Structures are given as C-alpha cells and as structure tokens.
Amino acid sequence: MSFRQRLFYGLAALLLLCTAGAATSYLAMQLQLFWTMLLAFSIVGAILAILILGAIAISRNAPVPKWRPKGSPIHLLVVFGSGGHTAEMLTLLRNMDISPVKYAYRTYIISSGDNFSATKIIQYELALHGRGARPASYVIVHVPRARRVHQSYFTAPFTTLLSFWSCLLALCRRHPDQQYHKLPEQLRSPYPDLILTNGPATAVCVILSARLIRLGHSCRNFISRSKVPSPPSVTGARPHAYHPMTDEFRLRTVFVESWARVRTISLSGKILLPFADRFLVQWPALDGKKAWWGAKKAEYVPGLMD
C-alpha cells in the first residue's frame, strides 16, 4: 500500500471517528432535552391534577350559596352545540321565557364554523328585540372545537387545550369577539352570573374553566381571610380575628342533559356531573345518577324541553 493510500485511509478513519463523536454528542443532547421536557410536562401535569382534585373536593355535595339580590339583572351565558343540541337549547330558552329585562346581557358560545347555531341565535335575539331587548345586549363568541369529527385521538388533547383557553378568555371577557361589546352598567362583575349548557363537548371546557376561576377565587379568599384583620366593633372589641373578602362572585353552572338520554348519562355529563352546580335530567330513570361514588346526584326536572 502506497503512502498516499495510507494517508487517505488514515484521514478517512479520523473523519469517521470525529463524525461518530459528534453524533454521540448530538444524541446525548437530544436525550437530555427529552428528559428535561418530560420532567417539565410531568410537573405541569401534577399541578393540573392537584387543581382538578381540588375542584372535585370543593364540588362534592357543596351547597350553592345565594349570590344575587332578588330582582337584580343577570348576565346569562349559553353554550350551544350543533344540530340537535342547538334545537334542544332553543326549546329550553323558549320554555324558560327569557325576559330581556331580567337577563340584561346574554353571551352565546358556539364552535367555530357553526353557522347554523349563529343564525338561530340571531333569529332568537330578533324575537327578544320585539320584547324590548337592546340591540347591543348580546354577543356571540366563537371558540375552536374541542375535537373535530374523525379527528385523531392523538391530536385531540391539543385542540381541547386550545378550546379550553378560548373558553377561559370568554368567561373573563378577554376574547377577541367581546372586544367591542360592553356590559350594561348595572352588571358590576365581568363574569357571567349563570352558565347554561345542554351537553356539547365545548360545555366541558366552559364548565371546567368556570370551576378553575372559582377555585382560584376561593384560594384568594382563603389567603385574604388569613391575612386581613377584621375591623374593630363599636365597643372596640374584635369579634373575629379575620374576615373574608366581601366582593361578589358569579359563574354558577347548570347542565341540562339531552332529552335523548333516557337511561344513561352522556360522556360530557359523566365528566361534568361532579362540577356543575345543578345537573338536570329529563327522564326519571336518570334521577339520582352519579358519575362516581361521592359525587353529586342528577336531579329529575321534567318538561324543560317539551
């Protein structure tokens, strides 16, 4: 073998060793990045699990306190599905005989691309306008679908998180669709007073978002109650060491199970039964149903969608 050949093979071997070393280093970096991301996701998942378990613990058989003075105006938020859910919700709203004076502002949440529901809502609001409703007393908010038809279950968690975030913005009145819609002056809170839904997948994101906001508010109240001293009485005595925050809070939730559910509760219903303040069913066979042991019971209230 000539000198040139030996030199060529030597340089090739050296280059191969350098390439193998770089590949090994790159692989080690990628593995380190993978384990770092896995740890970060695990921490986030643990925090979310704690929040969910905390919300469940608060929700179980907790009484719903009185939160609104009698006769005061209400901000109503209605979650519309598509197709049959829309027809059922419109029937429910008509049977409720919504007064535009009592329900002074109305927010409708629909899925993106659901033109059918948007048209039906506008027609319903035109009927309310004939009964004295103000033109600017409602808003339609579009949120991404939690899961599209035939969508892969592997990508569904990402679209669900996007829908959840949009619903959270809508409840806090920070959604782009709400930018140019102002609440009436008599409504002091930016949050809806009452959330009404009949079971589309978007309802899961809306009610869980409401529970998350309420859980955060409860934690803030707890911290304030432990830090803020109560003012002295007329006699100078302090009857209680601490007092809670006095601001009013909203976001009461009502879930009405679909009329088509005669003997079993829907998947959305099973998820939301422990979280909704009231869970109403249309058939006696579902009365007293629970999602699991210790959760709230379903209430049989007939005639809502007749």
| Class of residue 240 by CB neighbours under 10 A (exposed 0-12, middle 13-18, buried 19+) | exposed
Instruction: Give the DSSP letter of residue 217.
Output: H
Indicate the pairing of strand 75-79 with strand 194-197.
parallel
Q: What is the pTM of this model?
A: 0.73
> Among 90, 95, 142, 93, which Cα is nearest to 120's?
90
* DSSP category for residue 183: P
Backbone angles phi, psi at 265, to 5 degrees: -90, 145
Mean pLDDT per 10-residue run, the chain (306 residues)?
61 64 70 82 81 62 57 90 88 88 92 92 90 86 84 79 93 91 82 90 91 82 63 45 46 91 89 89 89 77 82
CA-nearest of 125, 216, 121, 136 to 168 is 216
DSSP at 251: -
- At residue 249, the pLDDT reads 60
The CA-based angle 250-251-253, given to 5 degrees, is 135
Contact partners, residue 82, CB within 8 Å, separation at least 6: 110, 111, 114, 116, 117, 200
The sheet with strand 278-281 has its strands ordered as: 138-143, 105-111, 75-79, 194-197, 252-256, 278-281, 299-300
Q: How far apart are CA 227 and CA 248, in angstroms?
A: 19
Task: Give the pLDDT confidence of 92-125 residue by residue, as tens digits.
Answer: 998 888 888 889 899 999 999 899 999 999 999 9
Q: Give me the helices (H) in 147-299, please.
A: 156-171, 201-227, 267-272
| 134-153: pLDDT as tens digits | 878 999 999 998 777 777 77
The residue type at 4: R
Residue 133: closest CA among 194, 89, 76: 76
The answer to whether 39 touches 156, Cβ cutoff 8 Å, is no
Question: What pLDDT score was predicted for residue 107?
Answer: 96
216 alpha carbon, distance to own chain's centre:
13
Identify the pLDDT of residue 50: 78
